[in-house]
Structures are given as structure tokens and as C-alpha cells.
Amino acid sequence: MEHLSSPQSKGVVSAGDAQTAQAGQIILEQGGNAFDAVVASGFAAFICEVALCGPLGGGVMLARTAAGTTRAVEFFGRTPGLGGPKPNQLDFGEETIDFGVTTQSFKVGRGAAALGLALPGLIDIHKKWGRLPLHRVAEPAVRLGRDGFVVGAPMAYILELISPIFSWTPESKALVHIDGRLPTAGDRMYNADLATVLEDIADNPAELHGLYSDFARHFGPSEGGLITTQDLTNYQIEYADPVSVKMRDWTLSTMPSPSSGGSLIALGLRLLEGIGDDTRFLSLEHLVQVALTQRILLDIRTPEFDERLREPAFIKELLSQSNVNRLRECLARPPIARPDNHLGSTTQISVIDSEGGVAAMTLTNGEGCGCVIPGTGIEVNNLLGEADINPRGFHCDPPGTHMSTMMAPTVGLNGQGDLIALGSGGSNRLRNAIMMTLCNLIEYDCNPADAVSAARLHLDASETDFELNVEVAEHSDGLLDGLAEVFPKLVRFPGRNMFFGGVHTALSLNGQLSGIGDARRGGCSAIAR
């Protein structure tokens, strides 16, 4: 659903849960800016989107200040183990999730936990750009934890899917159960322990050291984990120049390394530039060109790709016109298999304020490792246990490594001063969801609600074959038959599906603020009056 502003509007927030969006709305209405609001919404998401993110998960953000400075912020995950002994026995198990059409295994236990920087990242963002006191910014989340939050239908569905992971330990199971059962949509849940943690740290950010000391104690080598006290004193929140690319009259800024998604999205947009001149929206020609572009991105993401993204010269060459021309001639090259996460446990928050401040932030907890820090209400991440962000294998990277992610929140600015902030959950699908939404907005000049809701497709690859996943609503049989001629293995999704991400979007167009929450992932937007 799209929400439009009035002339008195102070800002717009789009997020994966109504309560998450409302937390940011409250802070905007109290005089906060986009960065106060995105931090408030992030805190709220830790409470009411527990299946998708957490204080000890990871995140990335694209920021544009009211003064026009654009920066990428990375507070994802670090490989732990600095200066510490290896555990005698690593707590590193496995749970299998049944998605109905397929199953997928995830590693869990304390040995699956990376050094997640979501909470220190939000605190640092607030310190750098926020306006209101941090304790006020945390108040909406604290109330949600103590007074209760309503479980949305998407969250209830995800918790049911990943219940084997949350049931790994009794403490983790208790975090998401009501009277011994999983919640259903509309149930009220509480997390007073996490509310207290957020309140104490917001009152005195130095209390974060106490939380991280508990993290090291309960997830360190003596307990089968890898977190050490040296890990806690050697991390930094990273600020960097974004990857930027032109599309029509828009400059689009997205995440640099260690995000691989940002550069892939930038390249995909370069390849798709001009598609609106030659094809009709959602025609067979449009969809085939999008799928072939996705095929190129599959092909170029070799195991070495993420490493090379650290080199500025590589990025410059990747996005150069000569490389774009060469890749457009390589559409017939067969794709190569890459592991993918069928769930994609990530959530997006997009904020634009009335002064022109913009924040697009993506958060994740993996699927959670099935373990909590006692007394905190915090389910710890399993970022070391996801195959798609550990392409060299589990526990192969040296301690202190900045972990790679596909997450790629993106901010756009055009020559008229219009603004876009968006991003998506969805593991490897998120890059295609973001790319298609931006293409719909810019190349086809779709209204924002249609650009977000338009049927999506996602190409998956294997060594010998590939399949095209398509949301078939609004597509004619003839169009689908035409797609099947080009991509014989066509997987048809009858309606909008969370598999294809959730592109929660905030916009300022012609001086009017608007927000669209992607219904695929329970999206909601809120206008601050």
C-alpha cells in the first residue's frame, strides 16, 4: 500500500512491519531526522521482527544527509577468534528447514555466531547524524518490548518455518513461544529483557561493553563458540564512499565491498539502461532481457569476485562502458551454480525526512543460531553458518575478516532533486528485486506502487541447467509460453511471494513524500505529520 504525504509531513518510513515503521514515524513527529527515525525503527525491528534481525546480527546502510553527503555504512559481521584459543569442541550443529517445494540446511549453535555489529552500528549512526537524545529514540522499541507487540502474518509464517532453529535450545524456544506454542498472526508477544537492554544502553551507551562481555563469555571457546574479548576491542563501524551509477537522469548510490550485491545491482542497471526505449513494460521482450541480465550476473560472480571488489580499479572496469558493451554480447554464456538461501532472513527500513535526509538500511540475524545470551532476550546470529555468505567454506576466513553480504540498500537522486530510498530482504534474490524495482521506476516511469508490486522473476543456476522463477499473476498464457521457450525450466508462483524479496521503498517526488511497503514481506509505510 502506498501512503502519500501532506504539505506538513515531516517524513516517511517504510519497513517490514507496521510497528517498525510506526517507531520511526513517532520519532520524526517528535522532531527527529531520518537517522533518528531509522535507528528507532531498527531498535523496534529487533523486538517485533525477531525472526529476521537482532542486536547481535548485522546491517548495512546507505545514508544521504540533508547537506547532500552520501555515505555507505557497514556494520555487518566480523569473523571471530582474534587472539583466542580454538574451542575443544565446536558447538556447530545443523537444522533442516522445509520450504514445501524444497529443503535447506543451516548451521546453528554457538560456533555459528559471528561478531554481529547491528547494535553498535545503530548507536554509531545515531552519534554521527542523529538529532534527538538516544534514550528518546529507543522509547518506541522499549514500549513494544514491555507492553507487547502484535505478531504479523509474515512473521508468524517465518517463525513456523524456522522453528527447528529456534528450538535448538530451551532458552531460544521460549523466546518465540506463547504458552508452549508458536504464535499466530494477531497474537501479542513480549520481550521485556531486550527492552531493558535497549533502555540501559540508550541511557548509557558504555553499557554496550557489558553486553558484549556477556557475548564473549557465553559464546567463547569455553562454551563451544569463537567470540573472544579481543574481537570486542578490535572492530570498527566502517564508513565509505558508495558505488554510484547513472541511469537516465538518476544517480544511484549503493553498497561497496564487503557487499557484493551493490556492485552487481549497479552493473545490472547499467546493462538494463535504455530497455524502456525498446520494450513495452512486462512484455515478453522486457522479461527476457531482465532474465538474461540476471544470467550475466550469475556468471560473473565467481568465488574470486567478492575479493576483487576491494580494488577500486576493478569496480571502475566492471562498470565501464566497454565492459557493459562486452557483457551485452555474452548473453549466451552458460551460468554457473552459486549457493542460495531460500529464505533470506533480512529486513529493510527506508526513511526520507522533510529536510532531504535519507537512510536506507538492511538488517539480518541470519536465521539465528538457536542460542540466546541469558537474561537479554537476544537470539544470536548464525552468520558463520550460512553457506551463501561463506563461499570458501565454514570457518575458513581468518579472524577479523569483514564478512561478505548481498545486502545492498540503495539511494537515488535525480536532476530535479527527487529522492528514492529502497532495499530488500531475500538473500541472492534481493539484488534482482532491487534492480527490477529501480528499472520499473526509472526506465518505465511506473508509479511507485506499481513499480514495487509488479510481478518479479529470479534466475537460479546449476552446473548443467538453470530455472526461471516467475510470479505469474497478470501474465498471459502466451507470455508464459514464450518465456518457457527461452527458459525451458519455468517455475511458476501463482501470486506474490516472499521468495522474491520485500522492497520497502520511501520516495520524495515533486516535493511529495510517499512510502510503499512491499506486501510480499509484510511491508508497511507511515507518514509523519
Active-site residue among 79, 346, 364, 405? 346
Report in angstroms the alpha-carbon separations of 437 from 98, 289, 292, 345: 29, 15, 16, 20
Q: Which residues contact 233 (CB under 8 A, 6 or more apart)?
A: none
Show contacts of 173-179: CB within 8 Å, 24+ apart.
175/50, 175/372, 175/377, 175/379, 176/50, 176/51
CB 421 within 8 A of CB 34: no
Query: Measured between alpha carbons, how far is 73 from 38 in angstroms, rounded to an integer?
Result: 13
Alpha helices in 224-283 (DSSP H): 261-272, 275-278
DSSP assignment, residue 181?
B
CB count within 10 Å of CB 244 equals 16
Query: Measured between alpha carbons, how far is 95 from 250 in angstroms, rounded to an integer?
Result: 44
243 DSSP β-pair partners: 254
Query: Measured between alpha carbons, how far is 40 from 122 in angstroms, rounded to an integer?
Result: 9
Cell numbers at residue 263, please? 556492485
| Environment class of 482 (CB within 10 Å of its CB; exposed 0-12, middle 13-18, buried 19+) | middle
Q: Is 96 a catalytic residue?
A: no
**Amino acid (1-letter code) at residue 358:** V
Q: Which residues contact 517 (CB under 8 A, 6 or more apart)?
A: 1, 14, 15, 16, 21, 502, 504, 523, 524, 525
Residue whose C-alpha cell is 537479554: 376
Query: Measured between alpha carbons, how far is 269 from 290 in angstroms, rounded to an integer?
Result: 10
- Residues with active-site annotation: 346
